[in-house]
Amino acid sequence: MFQSAEIEQKLSKEDFRAIEPGLRTELLKFQQEMTEKKTFSVLLVVAGVDGAGKNKAIARLQEWMDPRHIVCNAYDDPTEDERLRPPFWRYWRDLPEKGEISVVVGSWYQEPMRMRVLGACSKAEFEDRLFRINQFEEMLFNENVLILKFWFVLPGDEQRKRLKQLAKKSRRVRHILEEWTQMMDAEGARETVEQVAQRTSTAEAPWYVIPSLDPEYRDVAFADVVRAAMKLRLERGEPDSISAPAVIGGVRRKTALDAIDLTVRLEKDEYEEELDHWQAELAALTDKKGFRDLSLVAAFEGNDAAGKGGAIRRVTAALDPRIFRVHPIAAPSDEEKARPYLWRFWRRIPRRGHIAIFDRSWYGRVLVERVEGFCSEADWMRAYNEINAFEQELTDAGIVVAKFWLAISEDEQLARFKAREETAYKQYKITDEDWRNRLKWDAYAEAAGDMVDRTSTSAAPWRLVASQDKLFARIDVLKTICKRLKAAL
């Protein structure tokens, strides 16, 4: 979820000044329209640690909109009135009416997360809390509340630095800092936060990550999601899944993919040595007795011509041919089209002791199907959770799920495409479709970035592989598989 948190997103003062008037005009226009129509209300849930400037972003949004119809409800320790009633009571009490906007700070996420990080509730209680939160938000969605959830993030170091600065000025912040340090140092704290974000990012109420290092970008990003979502809700007239806008404040939204360092490379002789080493390691690991109780499912995705096939061949070369199968995933068969989209992958799940390698995978749902419009926005928005559930079934059954995104630059792709056209025995590898897809580079990048953010789980994390240098990429893939298998054995 927070893969894109460490990325720097900026907006210059000039760009900010250029964007502001248009953004304000639209925000006010849509707000007025919703106030008149009174067909839905808006609930903005704001989360993220102190120091990210949540309050400033909220203040700015309120300044930009009609203040009579947007209120901020901040929840701290419960009052006596609240303590004597069920925990959700205070949030219900303050629900906005149709036509109104409410910003919620210190929401229903605060308490379960704190409890869990501090070890004050069991995993089971915690999961139950998340389940109930989903139920609650789904109900709101169906009851015409447009819920938008924002997670304000800072790179880890920056966060600590800011809190320390603030702590000098205020006792309250000193207290927060202590608690925060205690929390984040606690074992599994980051994982808990990730888990919360992932489990509760539903098609009905997804989280939007707001990189907050740059105040101008932060405020515009926050307001721009609100603007875009209100616009869509007004256009569509009824509850519908709404994804994050591709462009925020005129700038393409960056994702984890933008942070991949494509310059890394490996010399030929070094490569040969590493290749021998890791292939031998992989052969040994899959030959172990313990592997008979495991299996491996590896999924390869990436830019066209990034070298998926080559990387896969380096993996399979190390394997006993009796225990693996490579599944190239192209258009589904008639039989597959007639069933839920995950069926074609379930039928290929290997038995224990076996390996299935997917050259393209179930992620097609949120990549090509999304970009090409083969399924509706609601369909691919719900797919993130469906895929996470699918992979959880696999990992729970002792299957190691390794997912690779092989990344190259736009220029490198062009060079490879041309080389393919010019080499006779490589021509089969390049089609008109490849060229067509290339024209949608940005759309695919956005889809891939969202995919990594929303489906990188602790049990089945994405490995982003710099593939500008094919040799480096192949070793990275082999090494990752070996490490994952070793950990599982």
Q: How far is CA 311 from CA 284, 402, 403, 406, 468, in A?
A: 19, 13, 13, 9, 13
Q: Which is nearer to a copy of itself, 338 or 424 (CB)?
A: 338
Helices vs. strands in the chain: H and E counts, helices first: 20, 12
Residue 374 makes contact with a copy of itself by CB under 8 A: no
Nearest to 454 by CA among 242, 208, 110: 208
Q: Does 459 bind a copy of itself (CB under 8 A)?
A: no
Minimum distance, C-beta of residue 45 to a copy of itself, in the bound complex (Å): 16
Per the listing, tokens 């948190």 go with 5
Pick the closer one to a copy of itself by CB: 88 or 435: 88
Which amino acid is located at 390 in the chain? F
Spatial separation of the C-alpha atoms in residues 317 and 328, rounded to whole Å:
17
| Footprint of a copy of itself on 293-312 (CB under 8 A) | none
Nearer to a copy of itself, 123 or 426 (CB): 123
Binding of a copy of itself at residue 87 (CB under 8 A)?
yes
Query: At closest approach, how far in Å is the CB of 196 from a copy of itself?
Result: 15
Q: How many angstroms separate the Cα of 271 from the Cα of each of 16, 181, 265, 275, 293?
A: 47, 42, 10, 6, 32
Window of 52-60, 123-131, 230-238, 456-464 that interacts with a copy of itself by CB under 8 A:
123-131
Nearer to a copy of itself, 171 or 289 (CB): 289
Binding flag, residue 21, a copy of itself (CB under 8 A): no
Q: Is 122 in the site for a copy of itself (CB under 8 A)?
A: yes
Residue 125 touching a copy of itself (CB under 8 A):
yes
* Both structure tokens of 447: 């889809």
- Indicate the residue among 81 and 320 with the shorter CB distance to a copy of itself: 81
Q: Cβ of 139: how many Cβ atoms within 10 Å?
A: 11
Of 278 and 380, which has the nearer Cβ to a copy of itself?
380
Q: Rule CB under 8 A: choose which of 394, 451, 464, 471 binds a copy of itself.
A: 394
Q: Please, which residues have CB within 8 angstroms of residue 374's CB and are 6 or more apart in sequence?
A: 368
* Smallest gap from residue 394 Cβ to a copy of itself (A): 6
C-alpha pair distances (Å), 47 with each of 163, 343, 400, 427, 482: 16, 36, 32, 51, 37
Asked if 427 touches a copy of itself (CB under 8 A), the answer is: no
Select 37 or 288, whichever has its Cβ closest to a copy of itself: 37
In the complex, minimum distance from the CB of residue 145 to a copy of itself, in angstroms, rounded to a whole number: 7
Residue 70 binding a copy of itself, by CB under 8 A: no
CA–CA separation, 288 and 280 (whole Å): 12
Coil/strand/helix, residue 462: strand
Residue 219 CB, shortest distance to a copy of itself, in Å, is 29
Strands (E) in 346-435, as ranges, are 355-359, 399-407
- The structure tokens listed for 367 are 């990549």
| CB 249 within 8 Å of CB 12 | no
Q: What is each CA distance from 77 to 106, 119, 180, 482, 485, in whole angstroms?
A: 9, 19, 16, 48, 45
- The piece of 101-109, 124-132, 241-249, 409-417 that touches a copy of itself (CB under 8 A) is 124-132
Closest CB to a copy of itself among residues 129, 416: 129
Binding string to a copy of itself for residues 142 to 161, with x set by CB under 8 A, is what?
A: xxxx----------------
Q: Residue 230 burial by CB count (10 A; 0-12/13-18/19+): exposed, middle or buried?
A: buried
Report the nearest approach of a copy of itself to the CB of residue 26 (Å): 24
Q: Residue 238 interacts with a copy of itself (CB under 8 A)?
A: no
Q: Do the beta carbons of residue 33 and residue 139 sit within 8 Å?
A: no
- Does position 186 interact with a copy of itself (CB under 8 A)? The reply is no
Q: How distant is the alpha carbon of residue 105 from its chain centre?
A: 22
- Other C-beta atoms closer than 10 Å to the C-beta of 327 total 16
DSSP run (H or E) holding 62: helix 54-64
411 binds a copy of itself (CB under 8 A): no
Bridge partners of 302, per DSSP, are: 406
Tell me if 385 contacts a copy of itself by CB under 8 A: yes
CB 62 within 8 A of CB 32: no
Tokens coding 387: 């895929």
Scan residues 326-365 and list those touching a copy of itself (CB under 8 A). Answer: 335, 338-343, 346-347, 349-353
Compute the residue count for the chain: 489
Q: According to the binding rule CB under 8 A, does residue 441 interact with a copy of itself?
A: no
79: contact with a copy of itself by CB under 8 A: no
Of residues 27 through 66, those in contact with a copy of itself by CB under 8 A are 38, 41
Sites of contact with a copy of itself (CB under 8 A): 38, 41, 81, 84-89, 92-93, 95-99, 122-125, 127-128, 131-132, 135-136, 139-140, 142-145, 335, 338-343, 346-347, 349-353, 379, 382, 385-386, 389, 392-394, 396-397, 399
